[in-house]
Structure 1
Amino acid sequence: MPPRRYAFGRADEATHPDSIRAALAEFISTFIFVFAGEGSILALNKIYADPLTSASELIALALANGFALFAAVSASINVSGGHVNPAVTLGALLGGRISVVRAIYYGVAQLLGSVVAALLLRLASNGMKTVGFHVAPGVGQGHGLLLEIIMTFGLVYTVYATAIDPKRGSLGTIAPLAIGLVVGANVLVGGPFDGAAMNPARAFGPALLAWRWKHHWIYWVGPLLGGGLAGLVYEYMVIPTEPPLHTHQPLAPEDY
């Protein structure tokens, strides 16, 4: 198991080709995810006069976000780890799995990917405004915040278990699928209440292009708290820091 390491980053890491490639992978994957996720909302806007009011629409959004994230993580997991989310990056940083420099690179790339996706969606849809996220009528901001914390905790915990954990073994091959599925499931749960962002980058690009900032703070504070907590919990409570001590000799095979 590789040792846990906290580091600011080497002096040449900011310009190292590996850092540039990883940031580019994060940018492209976040773009793919936001384009499909936000685009599914615009598509429903085009089809239905009153979007987000039926179970079929919610299922369509859950599938679009889950499929898009599955593809986005798969496309970048071998280069950058497939974060596609500042909350995942924060969890990995607090767990000592990436440096501060790389975390900053990832965060900037993720936000830029989201903004470019929202901009191109607006151009491609003939000026339709992106929708973004907001707390539904009758739902308090505190409830929305709690939902984002819980859902993002589940997401980042899944990322840790399937993609980051050094002892994941062959489970790593299904990491993108597991991550996409947990996001789709969370959209089904949280969508009617607060949209179920679980990702500050996913919320930022559409909010910027539409200039809709109502309740926007929830989609930063909630995911970052949930993601950071998941990283700390998995890193220090699930991953063993040292091999277990054996106080007795194991039995020979014939003695079982």
Structure 2
Amino acid sequence: MPAWGQTPFGRIAVGRTEEIYHVGTFKAALAEFVSVLILVFAGEGSGMAFNKLTDDGSTTPAGVIMAALAHGFALFVGVAVSANISGGHVNPAVTFGAFIGGNITLFRLIAYWIGQLLGATVACLLLKFSTHGLTTSAFAVSSGVSVWNAFVFEIVMTFGLVYTVYATAIDPNKGNVGILAPLSIGLVLAANILAGGAFDGASMNPAVSFGPALVSWDWKNHWVYWAGPLIGGGIAGIVYESVFISRTHDPLISSSEI
């Protein structure tokens, strides 16, 4: 049986106080801000554009395909452009999964979440301004689908997303697979939207849900889009760290980074 410190929970760390003021923390949070802004502007914007072109047809099969492509492509870019700065989380659930696995500190998690939520909010404000006040529609549970159905959907889909992040980006033994991380992460997001988009919009990302909800001030069932992804991301972090990763050193921020 592994010692407590060798388990994911045993490696959770608050971080050092110097980390709060370190320029690297600010740069990483800023990178997350930009990447989430790219994701939400493209993803939410594609839905708004499709509604305008088809008279509110975003919930049709073509609308779901459009959402999957837009979000998948945008996440691919968002991860790629921030991977070398922040790790390319682009998602509070991914950040939480990395934290639960002991890969980032609590201070970093808070900084990332602030950047991610601000990025989503600014993206929606820009969309609202650019489209002369069109609504940035909040994620919603579809008719005939219970809130608990949506909750389970978000857990399962986010588990798959964060598991993919671990396997292709976080795992220290990933080797050449890491080159494919942005593409793999974008593809699993697109695939999950095709699977769950008709049921609850398939968020898998609290920031992506938060921005539209804040700007449109529509909070109905919003908790689902936080609780589901955070639980799914946390489970993925625990499972991958416990079963598949063999570490010989502490991967948290080294002294050279502070």
TM-score (norm 2): 0.91
What letter matches 1:156 in structure 2? V
Residue 64 of structure 2 is aligned to residue 33 of structure 1 = no
Is 1:61–2:73 an aligned residue pair? Answer: no
For 2:243, the equivalent position in structure 1 comes to: 237
Whether 2:17 is the aligned partner of 1:11: answer yes
Answer whether contact 2:40 2:120 (CA < 8 A) is retained: yes
Task: State the partner residue of 1:169.
Answer: 175
From 93, 102, 106, the counterpart of 2:112: 106
Task: Tell me how far apart the structure 2 counterparts of residues 207 and 14 of structure 1 sit (CA, whole Å).
Answer: 29
Alignment of 1:197-212 (within 5 A): 197-212=203-218
1:45 matched to 2:51? The reply is: yes
Structure 2 CA distance for aligned equivalents of residues 10 and 50 of structure 1: 50
> Equivalents in 2 of 1:228, 1:109: separation in Å?
20
Give distance in 2, aligned partners of 1:21 and 1:194. 34
Contact 1:38 1:132 in 2 (8 A): no
Q: Of 180, 188, 192, which aligns to 1:182?
A: 188
Q: Secondary structure at the match of 2:84?
A: coil
Residues 156 and 227 of structure 1 are in contact (CA less than 8 Å); yes or no, is this contact kept in structure 2? yes
* Aligned AA (2:70): A
Asked whether 1:130 is paired with 2:113, we answer no
* Residue range with higher mean Cα deviation, 45-54 or 172-181: 45-54
2:47–2:66 contact (8 Å) kept in structure 1: no
Please say if 1:94 is aligned against 2:100: yes
Q: Deviations over 1:43-87 (max 9, x none)?
A: 011101132343222111100000000000001000000001010
Question: Distance in 1 between the 2:247 and 2:21 partners?
Answer: 32
2:202 maps to: 196
Structure 2: unaligned runs, 5 residues or longer? 1-5, 249-258
Structure 1 window deviating more from structure 2 (184-193 vs 46-55): it is 46-55
Separation of aligned partners in 1, 2:138 and 2:189: 16
How far, CA to CA, are the matches of 1:55 and 1:211 in structure 2? Answer: 27
Following superposition, the deviation at residue 241 of structure 1 comes to 4.8
Q: Which moved more, 1:150-159 or 1:209-218?
A: 209-218
Give the aligned partner of residue 224 of structure 1. 230
Amino acid aligned to 2:116 = Q
Counterpart residue identity of residue 44, structure 1: F
Name the structure 1 match of 2:90.
84
**What is the percent sequence identity of the aligned residues?**
56
Residue 151 of structure 1 and its aligned partner are, at CA, apart by 0.1
Aligned match of 1:158: 164
The aligned amino acid for 2:231 is L
Q: Which has the higher helix share?
A: 2
Task: Indicate conservation of the 8 Å contact 1:52/1:192, yes or no.
Answer: no
* 1:151 partner amino acid: M
| Distance in 2 between residues matched to 1:173 and 1:110, nearest whole Å | 24
Q: TM-score, normalised to structure 1's length?
A: 0.91
RMSD: 1.2
Question: Structure 2 CA distance, aligned partners of 1:131 and 1:11?
Answer: 39
Larger radius of gyration: 1
Q: Distance in 1 between matches of 2:135 and 2:75?
A: 22
Q: Which of 34, 57, 76 pairs up with 1:70?
A: 76
CA contact (8 A) 2:121 2:215 kept: yes
